[in-house]
Amino acid sequence: MMNKSKTILICDDSITSRRKLRETINSKGDFTIFEAENGQKAIDLYKTKMPDLVFMDIVMPVKDGVMATQEIRALNKKAKIVIISSVGTKENLKKALTCGASDFVQKPWEDAHIESILAKLI
């Protein structure tokens, strides 16, 4: 079981994806989870909550995941951001890693992949 005080921000415009990811994370340990449905809300929440880890979708309204990742990284160079997207093209993967993402997860994800990311990054 991992440390109780760890916080995670899930940013995805799909309520279903957010719920599934929250359930997957909660099955791996005791975390405090915040949710945002677009990149701008993720940035705003990041500023106030300073989570230990962020799961960020790429394609979202208001502000996409690449822009949000860049802005969060500008706020905190050590921010741990994992891009989680169904648009798993090499181009998007490259974009995600270039903008400062720590890792990339393809939807639909495997629970073991999420677990290894939690173990590695938190």
Q: For 84-100, what is each residue's pLDDT tens digit?
A: 988 767 787 787 788 88
Per residue in 2-24, pLDDT (tens digit) is: 445 799 999 999 999 999 999 99
Q: Which residue has the tokens 């989570």?
A: 51
* Domains of the chain with CATH codes: 7-121 (3.40.50.2300)
CB contact set of 36 (below 8 Å; sequence gap of 6+) = 9, 10, 11, 42, 44, 45
> Which tokens is 45 given?
């929440």
pTM here is: 0.92
